[in-house]
Amino acid sequence: MLQKKIYSLFGLLAIFSLIAIAPPAFADHTTAEVDMAVGSSVVGCETTNECYIPHMVTIDVGGEVMWNNIDAMAHTVTAGTPTEGLSEHFDSGLVAPGAMFSHTFEDAGTFDYFCMVHPWMVGAVMVSSEETHGDMEEMEGMKEMGHSDDHAAKGIEDLSDQFTTTLTSGVIHHIGGNTDDATLLVHLFGADDDGKLEITLNSDIITPFDDGSYFVLVDGQEVEFMQMSNTLHIEYSAGAEKIEIVGSHVVPEFGTIAMIVLAVAIVSIIVLTTKTRTTLIPKL
């Protein structure tokens, strides 16, 4: 009886883990909403990318993004970056508290924007075409069939779920940690065009140097990149396969979901074993 209960428990846990880690299907993105966050007029929101919430959205070509000003101060939604200046794509002008600005994107690409009044407020819109979705689905399928088994066989822990990432060309095949040289390895697949990776680092996995900075290489070559707190913006050329982020220390983690499943399994087995032993003890 106890063995049957344990086998049933592991069956349920296995189903739960498969459901929990199953990748979401590609969905249509025709609209998106962004809030100009409360308190974003004061420096500090940029450290957690919470000036515009969410600070990055993805839509299809022809999709519309709506920015709602829920703050008590006026803001702008201006295409471009504080360092590179304005672009001609869109500019809201001053958006008063409680007001809204919207823009329809007719071309594919990544569109950075910021607030001209409070330049630490930055965000981005990724606009993808149907062809892009098709290519991404095909690459994801190739990745699952041709690479995942290889990594599993080698016992390499994929840390992809420990970071928030977006990129404009290709897909992330795998993120691994190398404790020997304190390096986080981001393996790319299908980067046929020049692109940019935005990755928000998890300080529990990789820690920066004493001055708060990191060191980045693309295919073994040192590159310049932009860092905003623990978020890195890294540009790479077509054909890039590996991005290395070097810090002071890297600690690969056992997958979060795997830890939860294992913990639940252990606790459940202990409880079932204790109950079974209790029922078998004869009453005096």
Question: What strands lie across the sheet with 164-167, from one edge to the other?
Answer: 164-167, 195-200, 231-236, 226-228
pLDDT at res. 151: 43
Interval 94-100 mean pLDDT: 96
Interval 30-52 mean pLDDT: 92
pLDDT at res. 18: 44
Q: Taking all residues of the chain, what is their mean pLDDT, rounded to a whole number?
A: 77
pLDDT in tens, 138-149: 544 544 444 444
pLDDT at res. 150: 44
On the question of pLDDT at 153 being above 80, the answer is: no
CA distance 227 to 206: 15
On the question of pLDDT at 127 being above 80, the answer is: yes
| CATH assignment, 31-130 | 2.60.40.420
State the number of CA atoms in the 13 A half-sphere of 89 facing the CB. Answer: 24
pLDDT at res. 105: 94
On the question of pLDDT at 276 being above 60, the answer is: no
At 134, the pLDDT band (50, 70, 90 cuts) reads low
Contact 118, 78 (CB under 8 A): no
SS (H, E, C) the chain: CHHHHHHHHHHHHHHHHHHHHCCCCCCCCCEEEEEECCCCCCCCHHHHCCCEECCEEEEECCCEEEEEECCCCCECCEEEECCCEEEEEEECCCECCCCEEEEECCCCEEEEEECCCCCCCEEEEEEECHHHHHHHHHHHHHHHHHCHHHHHHHCCCCCHHHCEEEECCCEEEEEEEECCCCEEEEEEECCCCCEEEEEECCCCCEECCCCCCCEEEECCEECCCEEECCEEEEEECCCCCEEEEECCEECCCCCHHHHHHHHHHHHHHHHHHHHHHHHHCCCC
On the question of pLDDT at 33 being above 70, the answer is: yes
Interval 167-177 mean pLDDT: 84
pTM above 0.85, yes or no: no
How do beta strands 31-36 and 52-53 pair? antiparallel
pLDDT at res. 88: 83
Q: CATH 2.60.40.420 spans which residues of the chain?
A: 31-130
pLDDT at res. 27: 45
208/264: higher pLDDT = 208
Residues in the chain: 284
145/126: higher pLDDT = 126
On the question of pLDDT at 282 being above 90, the answer is: no
CA distance 191 to 220: 16
On the question of pLDDT at 99 being above 90, the answer is: yes
